[in-house]
Amino acid sequence: MIFGIPKEVPEYKEIPECRVGLSPRGVRELVDLGAVVYVENEAGDAAGFDNRNYESSGAQIVYSKAEVYKRSEIIISVRALDKNEVKYLKEGQVVMGFFHLVTASKETIDTFVQKKCTVLGYEIIQTDSGELPIVIPMSELAGVQSLQLAARLLEATNGGRGIVLGGIPGLSPAEVVIIGAGSLGRTAARVFKGIGANVYVLDNNRKKLEWVYEHVGYNLTTLFANKRNLEKLVRFADVLIGAVLIPGERAPVLISREMVKTMKKGSVILDFSIDQGGCVETSKISHCGDTIFSEEGVIHFCMPTATSLVPRSATHALTNGIIPYLKEIVKSGFEGAKVRYPEIQRGIYIDNGELKKEYLK
């Protein structure tokens, strides 16, 4: 089996993409099984993995993106391919990454179909129990990141309210509202609670709320994400975290512009659902690539590739999630791996040029 790891191309010049599809450790595991791995020159530099790291792990370095695609059967990417990358695709090639085709252009989808490619979306690989094994480690990482991001954006020099997240004697802590009790929301609840913030977690899945209540701690508040509760909580939130994910679908807009208008000036919204369209009406990705902006007096963070800010950690987390599937592909071939791991089949948007998801037709 021949794999190719291209250097990631950012969708917007102002939003760097520093992650890489597989770490050197992951490459070593595939090479030890007999796979051939081609890595584009300097593909891992921004994540702290240079060419020598990959070569010592058994990879072969190639010096053009075209060569990576030409030599490889399977392309291991992080995010959706750039329009210039699509032209390098070979007929019948397999490409995998966080593609989010539900928000992709018809032109992009048509190109995959015409090339008879197979597109495997990490974000919709789902086990029999409903877990998202590739999304989980990346979401957990983003959950930890949310603490770093919120603390920085709340500082007065960044236009924030000028407050700290945790309290001290005689000073109340920040109010943190988290919408979504999945992996990201649970992790965010844990880290914010750990520094002493007042934490509120909302979801419409009772079992998820029970998990948060039992595992994160009793001294936080869990509520159903109905309109009344959302309207009430956003008014006093210092930090609002959007962590809503419906696999393969656009994120529902749960926070309206009118709700945002009621928030305190200088408060912060971290909309991690932005890669699925965003769960806050005022969230957006501007054409110039701005990911931090103020709307209705509230600071918004809307970066669809947020974990790229910590690319070394992100690449390790991504590798941990995908390596079992890649190893099975080496052992059994792509078709055999689909039998061994049915979740791979669930993660296929397009199979040899055939659309497999109704929402893409």
Determine which one of 100, 203, 238, 300 is catalytic: 100
Beta-carbon contacts of residue 34 (< 8 Å; ≥ 6 apart): 1, 330
Q: Which of 203, 238, 275, 316 is catalytic?
A: 275
- pLDDT at position 288 is 62
Q: Are 306 and 141 in contact (CB under 8 A)?
A: no
Give the pLDDT score at 245: 86
- Pairing between β-strand 221-224 and β-strand 239-242 as defined by DSSP bridges: unpaired
Start-end of H helices in the chain: 24-31, 51-56, 65-71, 83-86, 106-114, 135-153, 183-194, 206-215, 227-236, 257-261, 311-340, 342-346
96 touches 75 (CB < 8 A): yes
Q: Does domain 2-130+311-355 bear CATH number 3.40.50.720?
A: yes
CB atoms within 10 A of CB 173: 19
pLDDT per 10-residue tile (average), the chain, 361 residues: 95 83 98 98 97 98 96 96 89 94 85 95 93 94 97 96 94 97 96 96 96 88 97 98 88 96 98 93 79 95 92 97 97 95 96 92 81
100 is catalytic: yes
**Six token digits for residue 178:** 């988290």
Element (H, E) at 295: strand 292-295
Q: What is the pLDDT of residue 289?
A: 65
Q: Which two tokens stand for residue 195?
A: 């520094």
d(C-alpha 34, C-alpha 124), whole Å: 28
Q: Which long-range contacts (CB under 8 A, 24 or more apart) does 94-97 make?
A: 94/118, 94/120, 94/334, 95/119, 95/120, 96/120, 96/121, 96/122, 96/322, 97/21, 97/121, 97/122
Q: Which CA distances in Å does 272 have to 64, 116, 244, 311, 353?
A: 33, 32, 8, 17, 31
**Which residue reads 């999304």 in tokens?**
135
CA–CA separation, 138 and 185 (whole Å): 12
The reported pTM is 0.89
pLDDT at position 105 is 82
Question: According to the model, what pLDDT value does residue 84 have?
Answer: 85
> Is residue 110 flagged as an active site residue?
no
Distance between start and end Cα atoms, the chain: 31
∠ CA(212), CA(218), CA(222), 5° rounding?
Answer: 50
The CATH number that domain 135-308 falls under is 3.40.50.720
* pLDDT value of residue 227: 96
Contact 220, 283 (CB under 8 A): no
Which residue carries 């926070």 as its tokens?
255
Domain limits, CATH 3.40.50.720, in the chain: 2-130+311-355, 135-308
> Residue 90 class from Cβ within 10 Å (0-12 exposed, 13-18 middle, 19+ buried)?
middle
CA separation (Å) from 101 to 70, 214, 314? 24, 35, 21
